[in-house]
Amino acid sequence: MAENDFVTVARVVRSQGRHGEVLAELHTDFPERFAERRRLFAVDAAGRRELQLESHWLHKGRVVLKFRGVDSIEQAQALAGCELQIPREERAPLPRDAAYVSDLVGCEVLDRGHALGAIAEVQFGAGEAPLLLVRSEAGEHLIPFAAEFVESVDLELRRVALRLPAGMLELAAPLTDEEKRAQNEPGAAVARGSRPRRGRRRR
């Protein structure tokens, strides 16, 4: 299978317990489907490998997973940072008016009819809404993919229409070269503090 034939449903954070369990953050709206899954694919810099899922349980907004053959803390910790994926064809079916965020990559983004660029990546952070990394020749923006901002999503036309609050794009704009240089100078913390917080969040 090709790389785009898989989608990420979780990411391993660390080991959990003493018998090889791992704690993972959820990248899916359907955590109940872990009960039906018998395999997941772990992906890291070394590549992709199949793991057999023996058991799971939800824990404080995350999921604890136990894989066959992973029976110690050391073996579990070796999975830390891995993305856990499934074949795209195994995703849960969605209503006609819904879409998976992974299908949005490559779509053109419009704000009130004005073209902003194309979605280069979808990032998951601490907030409830994933972030769309929208890139164009002029630069890039990180925009929350929140229901209150979305007017329509047309996957056939590869187009996402948004209605963003005034000023959001300015806050989500990348740093200029001058601002990047200022961050490396003495007193940079003061300079940054005088500027509005940007819409960036960790993955």
Q: Is the pLDDT of residue 198 over 50?
A: no
3-90 matches 101-186 in fold: no
The two structure tokens encoding residue 46: 């070394």
The CATH homologous superfamily to which domain 3-90 belongs is RimM (2.40.30.60)
Per-residue pLDDT reduced to its tens digit, 49-101: 999 999 999 999 999 999 999 999 999 999 999 999 999 999 988 877 677 87
- Could you state, in order of their start, the residue ranges of all structural domains in the chain? 3-90, 101-186
At the topology level of CATH, where does 101-186 sit? SH3 type barrels. (2.30.30)
Angstrom distance (rounded) from CA 76 to CA 63: 14
Helix or strand run (H / E) with residue 182? helix 177-183
The two structure tokens encoding residue 31: 């955590």
